[in-house]
Structure 1
Amino acid sequence: MQRNSCSLVVEPYQPDLVIDIGKITLGETNRNNLQGNQKQQEKETLLQAACALLNSGGGVIRMEMTEEVEHAGELGLDLENALRELIQSLDLETFFETKQYRAYFYIFVKSWSSGSSDGSFMARICSLSPSLYRRSGTSKWPMDSRAAFDFLKTKKERAKQSIVHTLNEESSSSKTLRVTERDISEPNSAFHVFQKDWLAFQETLSFPESQTVEFKQFSTKHIQEYVKNIIPEYISAFANTGGGYLFIGVDDKTKKVLGCSKDKVDPVSLKTVIDKEISKLPIFHFCSSNAPVSYETKVIEVRIVSELYGYVCVLKVEPFCCVVFSRAPSSWMVEERKGIYPLTTEEWVRRMMDTDPELPEAFESQLSLSDSPPSCRPVYSKKGLKHKCDLQQYFFPVRPKQEKIRHSPEALWEELCKEHEGLEELIGQQLSPSTWGILIVSRSWAVDLGLQERQGVICDVLLIAHNNPPILFTILREQEAGGQDYCTYTAFTLKQKLVNMGGYTGKLCVMAKVLYLSPQSNAESVEVSESLIDYPLSYNLADAQQMEALLQALVIVLLSFPSFLSDQLGCKVLNLLTAQQYKIFSKNLRKNRELFIHGLPGSGKTVMAIKIIEKIKNVFHCKSNQILYICENQPLKNLISAKKICQAVTRKTFMKNIYEEIEHIIIDEAQNFRTENGPWYRKAKNITRRKKDCPGILWIFLDYFQTSHLCDSGLPSFRAQYPREKLSRVVRNADVIAHYLQEIMQNIRKNPPTNIPCESLQMFLKVEGVQGVPGNLKIEHLDLENMVNYVSMKYKDFLKNGYSPKDIAVLFSTANEVEIYKNMFLKEMKKRTISQTNDASTSASPIFDSIRRFSGLERNIVFGINSSATEPAIYYNLLLCLASRANQHLYILNLIDFNPELKI
């Protein structure tokens, strides 16, 4: 690509982020001959591209050399030093490798990571400059990333510990007084000079420069430009360090008042320029005050005897409650469609301060932000479940060298080889006899990565092998337009997700290669270019340890999903599917258009429903309005609606309306459906079978143990529920609650309601729970007054221990009871928490609902009120539904003076 000057272009159709920066002068001798402006411009262009790639998962910088260099691969000392400074003085080879090919020069950039081998501090993101200043002695001091992080952390903690008026009081009173009280006591201090209307020309001020005083002289030319240039850094420094005075027109060595001649400066326009520049300074608040920078400008006359000579400008800057920048931080990111873009101040602070959330002790970290690339989110799983290392060994084991190549999953590979003669030989031709590693087979890696499926693709195969870079093979029956673009983009997406989602921190590229089976199904193949870029050997997987680390990142990419905790924490958190869940999720939808999934309480049925909806969209190229999610209760319907991935309705609404645009249906909590409004199952099946040649998906999730009524559910007979899968691993509840669930399930098996098929209850003779998850279970019998006091006291204690009202649900047996008792509990809760704290969280309240309406949902803490107020035949079913809603703490409270008239 020919260019006359350097620029930034994100190259399309590459399996990696590639930024072309145009023509650059390289080599020490050549760069020494450059003019200053061009030299600086080229350096800034290179740094911007490098910073963007470091923050975005890594990639390649490509440039065209303007002339030959004396030594091959030589950048130039100024460029090397600039790159070294960018990566906080680490070895260049840690993040950058270079390669020269003819007139082009490549820099291969590894992703930034906040972890370091020697344990030293690494900022969450890479920046050319934080653009933050503080006062240090008599100077303004630019903060580096370490100092900026510490400064931001201190400000954040201070804001967190104090309510707004306390912060303002500390900022505007105590800090300011440290300056002004001393100044007031000294007649010739900066404070007293600031009050004056005039000063004598060459008068010597009695106070020196200090942390709160800075002397500057006016520039002899372009006075307003000079003031505009110095304002940002000095205002940032004073505001961030307790305030102070900036004198413009005083010699810093002699302390003499020199001012600026009256014919060179206009006081009004000077103040206007200062006001405008300060108004443009980026500020960030950790507190809620949203106060601007507080300052005062005074232009003081300078006289010779009694004649006006000129002016001194003095700025009095108050300490700022939070953070003042001199300009937006210099940091960039790059996205495939968005291109290269600078981070805003708000985004930069958020990323710099990004830390792992404080989750309940029931969770175990799978991926921490403390040692991961900048775009990663934290990943957790419930304690007792398989760690990502175990899941990697289960799904993608790296066998000893003697076993050569392993296929995973083997059943799918065997099925594909039977369906497509010559496939095994075709792949075998791509492997040398010494290849050692694993071939991961998928009918569509695009769908696995959240992309749309491409028609005509037989399969995609990912090779993870020793002494090779990862290679993605796309196998087509015959050559067709767009095949290489599909493979390249899938490889690009995989590489990005392995780093920015899976947290892989090594050097990484994914090669893209298309193979073809001939029409005669022999083993002939036609290859197209794997990549236009030849990566260094360091991008090969050197040993089993690197292979396993990459495969563990792949586990996170394939098995992670947004946790329901994300909404409660206010930040995105990922969880991992269990092996059992992933096997069902991985099913071929074209061969499993109807499926019944029986899942125990807490086994993740709703999570699976959401994941399948997203997969349907990619396999069948559907829009959200072509997929329907149906459940029985409104709260669960609202939860799915908020995700905007499909249409979501309750069963009653479904039976009232016509859905002409719907092609696929997912049904959740189907055991609680009824036929009172008509045969819902027949209607759903008819909708999904409208296209005889290509029927839609109908997946039904249910759990007979949680049946909450004695009516006909409308489900087909148990034997007709085929094909059928089961989710037997309980992943939601703490140990003590899980054991309690097993006891209740045993009681249901002994005395099943008449509308539940007994065979369904025998599916789960063995319940697989998780071990080591702490929790609490209490069963109490109390009168109404003591029950209200009990719940209110516990509620107050949970808030004191860091829980929020969103973590807590108070569930009643019937909707009628909710209406009768809710206000009693709320009134007492508010009375106790208001007397305890002024925290804003007390303005919220826990969830109050009935057990039936809360089906399919969960909370960390659940109070179950009057759980005996139901039909005896389904007493244990409703009790099971109640208990399974609680993740950690469960309180079952029975009213001693229960009023039977409230019973439905």
Structure 2
Amino acid sequence: MKKNHCSLVLEPPCSDLVIDVGEVTLGERNRNELQKTQREQEKARVVQAACALLNSGGGVIRMEMKNKDEHPVEMGQDLELALRELIQSSDFQAFFEYNPQGRNFYIFVKSWSSDSFSEDTSVKPRICSLSSSLYCRSGTCVLAMDSRKAFGFLMTKKKDAKYRLNNEGSPPSKIPQIDHQNTSESNPAYRIFQMNRLTYGEILPFPESQCIEFKQFSTKNMPKYIKNLIPQYISAFANTRGGYLFIGVDDESKKVLGCAKENVDLKSLKDIIAGTISKLPLVHFCSSQPMVEYSIKIIDVFKGEELYGYLCVIKVEPFCCAVFSEDPKSWIVNNKKICSLTAKKWGDMMIDTDPELISELAEAFESQLSLSHGPPLCRPVYSKKGLEHKADLQQRLFPAHPVPSDHLRYTPESLWQELVSEHEGLEELIHRQMRPFSQGILIFSRSWAVDLNLQEKEGVLCDALLIAQNSPPILYTILGEQETGGQDYCTSTVFTLKQKLVNLGGYTGKLCVMAKVLRLRAESNTDSLGGEVSLIDYPRSYSFLGTQQAEALLQALVIVLLSFRSLLSDQLGCEVLNLLTAQQYELFSKNLRKNRELFVHGLPGSGKTIMAMKITEKIRNVFHCDPREILYVCENQPLRDTIRKMKICKAVTRKTFIKSIFKFKLIQHIIIDEAQNFRKENGDWYKKAKAITQRKKACPGILWIFLDYFQTSHLSQSGLPLLSEQYPREELTKVVRNADEIANYLQEIIQKIREHPPPNLPPEYLVMLHEAEWAPGVTGSKTIKNLNLEQMVTYIANECHRLLRNGYSPKDIAILCSTESEVNKYKDKILKEMKKRKFSQINDVSIFTEDMVDSVRRFSGLERNIVFGINPTTAETAIYNNFLLCLASRANKHLYILSLSNS
């Protein structure tokens, strides 16, 4: 992406993307009097700004009226027509509304979305473009592809490339072998291409056609003429069936005219052609990524027996993917700058689709937000089947139907009551502000900024988001009496909220969010000050008219607040989001200042590590922390490395934490994960963690500890305080990870643990099982076998071969042994056997790496779709079931427990 020239300004108290395009002449009569160049320049600025906003979540174009009319005037037909052509629709108001306000003229732009483009579900370009810069041949014409045609063309090329990869043959949509005309001796153009000499005025024995174009040489500025001529024709021929571009032939008479020899330098001509073609942007969907294939032939043109000049012929071969004449004319807002999209970025965004989940994963996950219905920047959102749908989460967390129907609902009720008890006068202040609104919902937060992954502002008592009928959403920020700077904070928060509701939550309606600051005065709660809601007067259509719009917005809000990056992202090679459960969100929403130390107990697969990561991000925003001030401590290196890659904190293992000679001077907050497997053998880690986080007695840091006694893999002292002393304590009892058959197996193991608990499992911990929920509805498999070593190695290789053939990748597989010594014993044998197999969809067998084979203990806290457990044994019989539970719970879809027999 390249920076462009329009200035992008975010002006307090404006809380939207506002692109200032400068002075523009408005009014039909005024614009007709402009010189063509000036009119086109102004139009280009407006269209470019509109395109950038359409692709970036919507916003406002501001222009200053250049003409001196004293009364408001219309925009001008040429500007309106240009905007209609941009969206390729006659429904102007579906995306644009405008309003003159004084000397300023505002155009309100709604976000682009695929489903608003066409009723034809097969034609859904993901982004808006002024020009695709893609060309094709149709008869004797070169046609520019509009968004519809470009989308269909790119989708076909992508499917063809995939077909070739999987079948090593020609794609079903490939044009019939008419391409052979380019080299067939029966093709008259080919015969001319083979000749070395022609006669001036000679009439070629064939006309222009789909694969033949005649052009004359320019008599002025030959290099510029060639550079301007070639891109469209090369793109068109390469994107269709190939063809011949004859330069030096009259297109009507078909006479050979050539170019006088004194007017052309042959070496320079060839260099210009080659250089121009080499600069054409290419977008590949195939792995080979070849360049455009072409040949240049210079044919001598004679008058009588004297050399007059030259005819130039460029033969272009059909291209495997897409050839552009230049980068498309399409823009986006990035880091508050307008950027033009490169052909590669544009192509990726244009046909961005939901990832193709293999059938078994498709059965396990349910789409919550599809790219086919969302704005250009949103990502696909999935939830595991059996968990709450976004509509269910919305009704549970943010119900849009208050009871009674003529009242506002304040939520969360518990937080509202806390805030009222903490701040005298707040209740009356809020009630007074809400009097104009009869139906809707007011959502409180101690900091909406933190909820949106922004930093908290000191002095903000709370924020409240109003979504009510006949009003745009309004975010109220309530400040203490002496606090300042609230308007900038509120505006920044509202700006982020609006952008995320569209670009993350997938809201496709017209949307603005207003910002209003209130100050709670101690001496007189009736003397509050309200900041301006907005200086821009938005159209009426930006206010909600019914509960259907409100519910759609609240469901987008659910995605904004509850989404997190899914582990599917690494497996699918693109960013995919999952949603927290309501139980997880309630834990995430806790007031960190009131819960500086917390023990979180979670059943296997309840999302403890996900919550540890989310809380780490929240700590950073609430306490304005540098990542170096937050420490994540776990037992094993693979989990440590996973957290390090996120760059949200410092991550170490428990041994490093205890043994390290470096001082933790910067550390203020600590998150402990998988604490049930910690040991006290090298030192009292809990005492050290507590000492570090409580150095500031008046304001201690955060110490949250995540654990599950059911997965304890040792009988040594853990260093944890007694369960009765682990207070305050929260529980995660909803198991969200495993397929049904694996979940049933886990419950069987837990029942065995319950009947024969190991000595280090507190008896009162078993009570948590009464609250356990297992998300049903996902198919999977559990296989238990006794095999000798040779059979086991062969079985693993064969099963991996079958699963990979069915669409899984090596990243989906973990092969877990009981101990590190067994890892070393089996690893080479297993990998060697796997590399013997031929995996047609995997070119490089080196991706079967040593990382696939690990110990159960080192893999604690991680998960895979497919897990092989090899000969599960423990030194202590008392914890065998705990060990087996830890192993089995790592598997999402397929679990194999393979024990070694003596035979």
* 3-state SS, counterpart of residue 26 of structure 1: coil
Write out aligned runs for 1:142-161 (5 A): 142-161=144-163
**For the residues of structure 1 that align with 2:856 and 2:178, how far apart are their CA atoms?**
57
Inter-CA distance 28–324: structure 2 relative to 1 (3 Å threshold):
same
Contact 1:129-1:329 at 8 Å conserved across structures: yes
Q: Which residue of 2 aligns with 1:628?
A: 631
Contact 1:705-1:761 at 8 Å conserved across structures: no
For residues 806-825 of structure 1, the C-alpha deviation after alignment (integer angstroms, 9 at most, x for no partner) is 11111112222211122222
* 3-state SS, counterpart of residue 450 of structure 2: helix
Write out aligned runs for 1:322-361 (5 A): 322-335=321-334, 337-359=335-357, 360=361, 361=363
Inter-CA distance 248–608: structure 2 relative to 1 (3 Å threshold):
same
Contact 1:443-1:459 at 8 Å conserved across structures: yes
For residues 516-539 of structure 1, the C-alpha deviation after alignment (integer angstroms, 9 at most, x for no partner) is 112425231112222221100100
Q: State the one-letter code of the partner of 2:342.
A: T
Inter-CA distance 243–402: structure 2 relative to 1 (3 Å threshold):
closer
* 3-state SS, counterpart of residue 553 of structure 1: helix
Q: Which residue of 2 aligns with 1:701?
A: 706
Contact 2:794-2:833 at 8 Å conserved across structures: yes
Q: Which residue of 2 aligns with 1:285?
A: 284
**For the residues of structure 1 that align with 2:841 and 2:365, how far apart are their CA atoms?**
30
For residues 499-551 of structure 1, the C-alpha deviation after alignment (integer angstroms, 9 at most, x for no partner) is 00000000000000111112425231112222221100100011001001100
Q: Which residue of 1 aligns with 2:230?
A: 231
Consecutive unaligned residues in structure 1, runs of 5 or more: 1-5, 899-904
Q: Which residue of 1 aligns with 2:54?
A: 54
**For the residues of structure 2 that align with 1:460 and 1:140, how far apart are their CA atoms?**
57
For residues 666-708 of structure 1, the C-alpha deviation after alignment (integer angstroms, 9 at most, x for no partner) is 0000000001101000000000011111110000000000000
For residues 116-172 of structure 1, the C-alpha deviation after alignment (integer angstroms, 9 at most, x for no partner) is 386233310111111111111112121111221222122222222324996899999
Q: Which residue of 2 aligns with 1:717?
A: 722
Q: Which residue of 1 aligns with 2:397?
A: 395
Q: Which residue of 2 aligns with 1:901?
A: none
Contact 1:73-1:98 at 8 Å conserved across structures: no
Contact 1:99-1:106 at 8 Å conserved across structures: yes
Q: Which residue of 1 aligns with 2:44?
A: 44
**CA shift for structure 1 position 90:** 4.4
Consecutive unaligned residues in structure 2, runs of 5 or more: none
Q: Which residue of 1 aligns with 2:425?
A: 422
Q: 2:475 aligns with which of 447, 472, 476?
A: 472
Q: State the one-letter code of the partner of 2:113.
A: S
Q: State the one-letter code of the partner of 2:755.
A: K
**For the residues of structure 2 that align with 1:428 and 1:794, how far apart are their CA atoms?**
64
* 3-state SS, counterpart of residue 429 of structure 1: helix
Q: Which residue of 1 aligns with 2:503?
A: 500
Inter-CA distance 564–170: structure 2 relative to 1 (3 Å threshold):
closer
**CA shift for structure 1 position 477:** 1.3
Contact 1:176-1:319 at 8 Å conserved across structures: no
Identity among equivalent positions (%) equals 63
Inter-CA distance 300–757: structure 2 relative to 1 (3 Å threshold):
same
TM-score, with normalisation over the residues of structure 2? 0.95
Write out aligned runs for 1:98-247 (5 A): 98-116=98-116, 119-120=119-120, 121-163=123-165, 178-182=180-184, 184-185=185-186, 189-247=188-246
Q: Which residue of 2 aligns with 1:649?
A: 652
Inter-CA distance 503–481: structure 2 relative to 1 (3 Å threshold):
same
Contact 1:61-1:109 at 8 Å conserved across structures: yes
Q: State the one-letter code of the partner of 1:56.
A: S
**For the residues of structure 2 that align with 1:327 and 1:706, how far apart are their CA atoms?**
58
Inter-CA distance 819–73: structure 2 relative to 1 (3 Å threshold):
farther
Q: Which residue of 2 aligns with 1:456?
A: 459
Contact 2:124-2:151 at 8 Å conserved across structures: no
Contact 1:26-1:69 at 8 Å conserved across structures: no
Write out aligned runs for 1:234-383 (5 A): 234-335=233-334, 337-359=335-357, 360=361, 361-383=363-385
Contact 2:160-2:172 at 8 Å conserved across structures: no
Q: 2:515 aligns with which of 512, 515, 519?
A: 512
Q: State the one-letter code of the partner of 1:43.
A: K
Contact 2:465-2:474 at 8 Å conserved across structures: yes
Q: Which residue of 2 aligns with 1:67?
A: 67
Write out aligned runs for 1:431-830 (5 A): 431-478=434-481, 480-520=483-523, 522-657=525-660, 658-830=663-835
**CA shift for structure 1 position 173:** 14
Contact 2:293-2:316 at 8 Å conserved across structures: yes
Q: State the one-letter code of the partner of 1:732.
A: R
Contact 1:167-1:321 at 8 Å conserved across structures: no
Contact 1:299-1:311 at 8 Å conserved across structures: yes
Inter-CA distance 750–165: structure 2 relative to 1 (3 Å threshold):
closer
Contact 2:200-2:301 at 8 Å conserved across structures: yes
Q: State the one-letter code of the partner of 2:237.
A: F
**CA shift for structure 1 position 374:** 0.3
User: Across the two proteins, how many residue pairs are aligned to each other?
Assistant: 887
Determine whether 1:406 maps to 2:409.
yes
**CA shift for structure 1 position 9:** 3.5
**For the residues of structure 2 that align with 1:487 and 1:180, how far apart are their CA atoms?**
65
For residues 247-284 of structure 1, the C-alpha deviation after alignment (integer angstroms, 9 at most, x for no partner) is 11111111011222333333232222222221211112
**CA shift for structure 1 position 431:** 2.1
For residues 281-329 of structure 1, the C-alpha deviation after alignment (integer angstroms, 9 at most, x for no partner) is 1112222323222222233232211223332221111222221100001
Contact 1:476-1:514 at 8 Å conserved across structures: yes
For residues 536-582 of structure 1, the C-alpha deviation after alignment (integer angstroms, 9 at most, x for no partner) is 01000110010011000000000000011211211111100001100
Contact 2:163-2:169 at 8 Å conserved across structures: no
For residues 580-628 of structure 1, the C-alpha deviation after alignment (integer angstroms, 9 at most, x for no partner) is 1001100010110000000000000000000000000000010111111
* 3-state SS, counterpart of residue 535 of structure 1: coil
Contact 2:183-2:190 at 8 Å conserved across structures: no
* 3-state SS, counterpart of residue 497 of structure 1: helix
**For the residues of structure 1 that align with 2:242 and 2:30, how far apart are their CA atoms?**
47
Q: Which residue of 1 aligns with 2:31?
A: 31
Contact 1:132-1:148 at 8 Å conserved across structures: yes
Q: State the one-letter code of the partner of 2:180.
A: R
**For the residues of structure 2 that align with 1:895 and 1:110, how far apart are their CA atoms?**
63
Comparing 311-320 and 413-422, the one that deviates more = 311-320
Comparing 392-401 and 70-79, the one that deviates more = 70-79
Contact 1:804-1:841 at 8 Å conserved across structures: no
Inter-CA distance 281–613: structure 2 relative to 1 (3 Å threshold):
same
TM-score, with normalisation over the residues of structure 1? 0.95
**For the residues of structure 2 that align with 1:521 and 1:670, how far apart are their CA atoms?**
50
**For the residues of structure 1 that align with 2:258 and 2:118, how far apart are their CA atoms?**
52
**For the residues of structure 1 that align with 2:326 and 2:419, how far apart are their CA atoms?**
58
Comparing 795-804 and 286-295, the one that deviates more = 286-295
* 3-state SS, counterpart of residue 153 of structure 1: helix
* 3-state SS, counterpart of residue 192 of structure 1: helix
Contact 2:114-2:125 at 8 Å conserved across structures: yes
Q: State the one-letter code of the partner of 1:751.
A: H
Q: State the one-letter code of the partner of 2:530.
A: E
Write out aligned runs for 1:834-845 (5 A): 834=838, 836-837=839-840, 839-840=842-843, 842-845=845-848
Inter-CA distance 672–641: structure 2 relative to 1 (3 Å threshold):
same
For residues 339-394 of structure 1, the C-alpha deviation after alignment (integer angstroms, 9 at most, x for no partner) is 10111111111111211112312111110001000000011111000000000000
Contact 1:666-1:698 at 8 Å conserved across structures: yes
